[in-house]
Every structure is written in C-alpha cells, then in structure tokens.
Amino acid sequence: MYESSKDHSFMVISAGTGINLALGVLYTWSIFKGAIRESIASGAEGAFNWELSSLNDPYAVCCLVFACSMILAGSVQDRFGPRVTAFIGGILVGAGFLLISTTTDYWGWIIGFGILVGIGIAFGYSAATPAALKWYPPSKTGKIAGIVVSGFGLASVYIAPLATYLLALWGLQDAMLAFGIGFFVLVGLLSFLLVSPPPGYTPKGFIDRRDENKNNVTRRNDFEDASESPLQMLKTSTFWLTWTLYFIGAGSGLMVIGSVAGMAKSSLGEQAFIAVAILALGNAAGRIVAGIASDHYGRAHTLAILFVFQALLMFTAASVIGAESTSAIILVLLTSFIGFNYGSNLALFPAISKDLWGIKHFGMNYGILFTAWGVGGFVMSKASEIIRVESGSFTTSFYTAGIMLIIGSGLTFLLHTHPVKRQRREIRKNEKITKETTMFQPK
C-alpha cells in the first residue's frame, strides 16, 4: 500500500513511461513484416503463404483496433483507475504474441497481432498518461504528456535490434513467444505503480485562476474550467476539426513507420533495423520537445509549424527514398525528422484534449479523439502498400500525404476560435496588464 499523503508523481510518470516502452512494439512491425516477406519468398513447407499486398494488414488492423479500443479503455480507466486498466493491457498483449507464435495463418495474425495486441496496447496506453497528468499542474500538461508517451516512440530503439537478433537466433515464432512473455511480465508489474492522487490533492506549482484575490476578483469569477462530457464534446465543431488534424498528422507518420525497414533495404541492407531505431529516437524526441514547446508557444502554433515541416519532409522523401543512389545518411536524417514530427502529434493532441474538454472525462474523451490516429494509420498505411505493389514506389503516397499536411496546417488556426481558448487568452492578457500596472505603482 502507498501512503496517500505522499507525492508519488515521479514513480507514476516513470511507470507510465516504462509501460509505453513495452507497448511501443507496434512501431517495430516493419521488422516482423520483413521476416514474413522472406518466409513467403522461401516457399518452404510451413512458410507464410500471404498475398504481398496484405503484409501490412495486421499492423493496419492493430492501429485501427488500438484506436477504437481507446474509447472502452478510457472508460475503464475513468471508472476503475489506471492499475486495473494497465494490467488488463499486459494480459492482452501477452496473449496476442503467444497466439501469433503458434501460427503462420493470415487470420491468426490478424486476430493475435491486429486485435488482441491492439486492444492490449489501448488499455496500457490509456492508463499511463492520465495517471501522470493528475499529479502535475496544468502548466506542465504538454511536458508531462510528452515524457510519458515518449516511451512508446522510444521503444523501437531497443526492440528493433533485439527483434533482429532474436529472429536470426530463434526464428519468427520463438521470437514472438519471448516477446509475449516479456511484455506480460513487464506491463503487469509496472501497472501496480500507477496510483491516482488522493481526493483534494493539489499539485506543486498549481495556480488556480478561479480563486479570488485583491487584483482581479470579477475576472477570476468569470472563468470556468472546461469539463465537457463525451457527448458534449462530440457536438462541437472543434472536436471534428481536431479529429481531422489528428487523422492527417498520425496517418502520414504511420504510413512511413509501417514500411520504414523495407524502404531502407536498398541503402542499409541487413542493417535496415538502424533506420527503425533512428526513427524511434526522433519519435520520442518529438513528443518531449513538442510538448514543452506547446506549453510556451501554444498548441495550435506548434502544430501548424510541425505540419509544414512534415509536409516538406514528405515531398523530399518522395524523390529520394527507394532510389538506388540514396545514401544511408540522407535516409537516416529523413526518417529521424519524420519520426520527430510524427511523435509530436502524440504529445500535442492529448494536451489539446485536456485543454479543450478538461481532465474529468479525459480518459474517454481522448479515447474518442484517438480513433483518428487508428483510422489514419489504417487508411494511409493500407493505401500506401497497395500503391507500392502496383506502382513499385511510395512516391504517390508521399506527395498525397504532403498535400494533406499543408491543408492541415492551415486548419490549425481554427482552433483559436474555441471559447475556452478565447477565455484563456483574455486571462493571460489581463494578468499581463495587471502585472505591468502593479510594477509601475509607487510603493
């Protein structure tokens, strides 16, 4: 039992990051896909017998199921707390890997990796961030969300080389068995460290802008914290705008992540896992940097800049990735920056959700918003693989994603019209005026 009077913020943020370090195995799919492709090409007895255009299907289904399950997982987290939710996630992820370790059947992998692992990741992921955010003040929302979700992005740094080693040592099936056991044990143990603050807990550094004081009694009484229910949220145009932006940002990144090892084969050969690991470093860094930047410069401004940068990277990638003359250095730089920009979405959108609709229903509200991540990943990774098989390259996919990102960058400015955003801008403006007036008053 933990003492409710103690500050467990560091323990909770560490446990949440650790859980995400396990669940981020999703981003290593391109390594598993390469092993399946080689098995198909071998034509040996007992080898995989899939259509090449379906190689991304378990990954795409996992993204979709992960996102859709976040609604249920968020509801469970809001009702039963982070411990129970994360523990269920560990059981499901372990069960999914155990299932795919026993079969080469297409539907076996759809059920095991696509459905069981997808649901399990949702339960673990939905428990980690809300638990950590409750221990810190609103001024650190972006930073804390970025740190916790960085574990998910950083996972491929160790899982990619580990998977490559285990595949060479034991083969695909036994490697999946090892991952299943490992993830079940790790997530299960860390789940017990996810504790919520006691009732009435006040985070260090918290400033309640609703409290009256001698400088601004009326203004603070006019301000109300956001606390919208899922149904109220769904009725707003801002939700659907935010959903669309998430679809574009996440889908563009997941399209690359699902195939990065294959893209890197021509330049890096058997060391293609390095591109996966480098992308993961960028992915993790993007979550932390974007989270901190958004706390200082605003979510919408940060998102707009990153969308433009990601679009430029997509246009560049369209002309260089897959070309025989592409150097390993250029490929590594591109994948790291694409990973950085993609990762920023996973810090910015939880923070946007909390800003606009509050912490009370955060688990379910963000779960609903997160469906954009899954639909984007499913649609864009599936479409890009079909286009690649038919055309022989990812060029069309990259150009399409780049255009969508440019449009998305323009749409971000509509976020400024939300009533909560207008109220908070007014508060900051008035606080600045009050501060300056007080500064020049004679003492």
Write the pLDDT tens digit of every residue in 170-216.
999 999 999 999 999 999 999 999 988 887 777 776 655 545 454 44
Q: Compute the average pLDDT of residues 122-148.
A: 86
**61 within 8 A of 114, measured Cβ to Cβ:** yes
Q: How far apart are CA 72 and CA 78, in angstroms?
A: 10
> Lowest-confidence range among 231-235, 244-248, 436-440?
436-440
Q: How confident is the model at residue 321 (pLDDT cuts 50, 70, 90)?
A: low
Which has the closest alpha carbon to 277: 330, 336, 326, 333? 336
**What is the DSSP code string of 306-335?**
HHHHHHHHHHHHHHHTT-TT--HHHHHHHH
**227 within 8 A of 59, measured Cβ to Cβ:** no
The per-residue pLDDT for range 344-354, each reduced to its tens digit, is 998 899 889 88
Q: How confident is the model at residue 428 (pLDDT cuts 50, 70, 90)?
A: low
The per-residue pLDDT for range 329-347, each reduced to its tens digit, is 777 788 788 889 988 998 8
Select the more confidently predicted residue: 258 or 25: 25
| Domain 9-197+232-431 class in CATH | mainly alpha
**What is the DSSP code string of 120-182?**
HHHHHHHHHHHHHHTTS-GGGHHHHHHHHHHHHHHHHHHHHHHHHHHHHHH-HHHHHHHHHHH
Is the pLDDT at 1 greater than 80? The verdict is no
Is the pLDDT at 2 greater than 60? The verdict is no
The per-residue pLDDT for range 112-123, each reduced to its tens digit, is 999 999 999 999
Select the more confidently predicted residue: 186 or 263: 186
pLDDT, averaged across the chain: 83
% of the chain exceeding 90 in pLDDT: 37
The per-residue pLDDT for range 138-168, each reduced to its tens digit, is 778 888 888 998 888 888 888 988 999 999 9
Q: Compute the average pLDDT of residues 257-270.
A: 62
The per-residue pLDDT for range 40-82, each reduced to its tens digit, is 998 888 899 999 888 989 988 998 899 889 889 988 988 898 9
Query: Residue 97's pLDDT is what?
Result: 97
Query: Residue 170's pLDDT is what?
Result: 94
pTM, 2 dp: 0.75
Is the pLDDT at 125 greater than 70? The verdict is yes
> Lowest-confidence range among 83-92, 153-162, 254-263, 291-300?
254-263
- For 282, the token pair is 């960028």
Instruction: Name the amino acid, one letter, at 429.
Output: K
% of the chain exceeding 70 in pLDDT: 82
